Structure 1
Amino acid sequence: MTINILSKKALNILFIFISSYGIAQQKFEGTAHYISKTDVDMSNFSRPDMSEDQKKRMAERMKSMFEKTYVLDFNKTESIFKAEEKLAAPTQQGGNGGPGGRFGSVISGAVDGDKYKNTETKELLISNELLGKKFLVNDELPKLDWKTTGEVKQIGQYMCFKATAVKTWTDFDISNFRRPPGKEEEPKEEKKEEKQIETLVTAWYTLQIPVSQGPGNYWGLPGLILEIHEDNTIILCSKIVLNAKDKTSIKKPTKGKKVTLKEYNEIATEKFQEMRENFRSRRGGDNNRGGRR
């Protein structure tokens, strides 16, 4: 005689599915805190003539530049995702142009503006600042074709389910600024071509918070996304506060020049390319002056 016994994990999953029918009708709103970390290939930034101490300091600046904390305020249909402000580390003399200095601040302002999403109207609004000028990116909310895998894991007190999607997008090419010294430039006409980027995205979401929201531009799953893996970046939820006494305030960004996402990427690509050329020109001038001593 064979008796089928459900495992404890299967029972937990079944319980969550049954419970979700009841909680889906509740009015959900809250705040989720996220930590974002990116593994950086330091060979793209260091030079052969750098000492080990210089490489170590640069690695620390890069780590600070790419480790950030965010807050997502959400309800059933709306959310706003904001980077938390932190005190800037003191810059080394002559280090304004290096990673983690002025260049890092410019990148942060260009990509880390407030992101408003409305899953009912499919509206996306992003407030970015590029070289002192404010832009309001007004576009349709991008949708990914999520595929569930059946895998589960626990994140804090929440049972999470795995989903994957292939993301194809056009963005300004940060790799242009990481080209090793001496590498030949591409022809100018090729630089104007849009660079299509395709990457696999892995998300972990929970049905215990039945809102189709998540960090950044991510959404479209039947529960709040608590973890995202994209290339060498991970975004992980560290804290959630639900239905607090003080109601969550979600305000649409309104300030800045209105552009589409495609238009903004074209503007950002051009401006960052100008920054790179100016930096190379200054560095070349410094080397020439040093050679005449």
Structure 2
Amino acid sequence: MWGTKPSETDVTILDVENNTLSLQRDVFEETYLIQDSIRKFDWKITGETREIAGFECKKAVTKICDSVYIVAFYTDQIIANAGPESFNGLPGLILGLAVPRLATTWFATKVEMTTPTPKELAPSQKGKKVNWKKLYVDMNKAMKDWGKEGARNIWKFSL
């Protein structure tokens, strides 16, 4: 739930074959089920590298909401078009992600290769069903009088 730890209760399923996203996210006191196409990010690969959880990772950057910069570190040793939350679109698994403006980071400490069960891959059915656009409209209405803190929360919802 936003206001506690980001993604503590979020569940994200990316279906790359069908280009669909199912994301269960708690926002304040309500659970949303975002069902939409997989978001596209305009990543720029920088050439910088670092090790994360025993894997050599390459740095890539993008931005969301026109001004919020995202820094990702991905490994091409694990061919998976995925990462934390709804981030994807790099030629390998994102093992590290930072959003400096929001003081938010996700970095893998260990990677275990397992085969998920069909139940684990099934999209959640819990929550108010919306797409990204509808969630953004709902959040703008709820945050319109919150000033800079409202804008900051909308950026968080966009992750």
Q: CA deviation at 1:256?
A: 3.1
* Partner-residue secondary structure (3-state), 1:240: coil
Is residue 243 from structure 1 mapped to residue 114 from structure 2 by the alignment? Answer: yes
Q: Which has the larger share of strand?
A: 2
Distance 1:129 1:228 in 2: 20
Amino acid at match of 2:95: L
User: CA 1:256 to 1:158, structure 2 compared with 1: closer, same or farther past 3 Å?
Assistant: same
Distance 2:27 2:54 in 1: 39
1:123 counterpart (10, 16, 20) = 20
In percent, how many aligned pairs have the same letter? 26
Is residue 263 from structure 1 mapped to residue 116 from structure 2 by the alignment? Answer: no
Q: What do the CA deviations read for 1:70-109 (whole angstroms, capped 9, x no partner)?
A: 6xxxxxxxxxxxx3xxxxxxxxxxxxxxxxxxxxxxxxxx
Distance 1:132 1:153 in 2: 38
Residue matched to 1:157:
54
User: CA 1:138 to 1:270, structure 2 compared with 1: closer, same or farther past 3 Å?
Assistant: same
Residue matched to 1:166:
63
CA contact (8 A) 1:130 1:268 kept: no
Q: What do the CA deviations read for 1:165-205 (whole angstroms, capped 9, x no partner)?
A: 1223xxxxxxxxxxxxxxxxxxxxxxxxxxxx422211101
1:253 counterpart (124, 137, 142) = 124
CA RMSD of aligned residues (A): 2.7
Q: CA deviation at 1:140?
A: 1.4
Distance 2:98 2:127 in 1: 31
Q: CA deviation at 1:264?
A: 1.7
Residue matched to 1:281:
none
Is residue 233 from structure 1 mapped to residue 104 from structure 2 by the alignment? Answer: yes
Q: Which has the larger share of helix?
A: 1
Q: CA deviation at 1:163?
A: 1.0
Question: TM-score scaled to structure 1, two decimals?
Answer: 0.42
User: CA 1:113 to 1:153, structure 2 compared with 1: closer, same or farther past 3 Å?
Assistant: closer
Residue matched to 2:81:
212
Q: What do the CA deviations read for 1:235-272 (whole angstroms, capped 9, x no partner)?
A: 1112211136x758322012333222121222234345
* Partner-residue secondary structure (3-state), 1:211: coil
Distance 1:228 1:130 in 2: 21
Unaligned runs of 5+ in 2: 147-159
Unaligned runs of 5+ in 1: 1-61, 71-82, 84-111, 169-196, 277-293
* Partner-residue secondary structure (3-state), 2:80: coil
Q: Which has the larger radius of gyration?
A: 1
Question: TM-score scaled to structure 2, two decimals?
Answer: 0.73
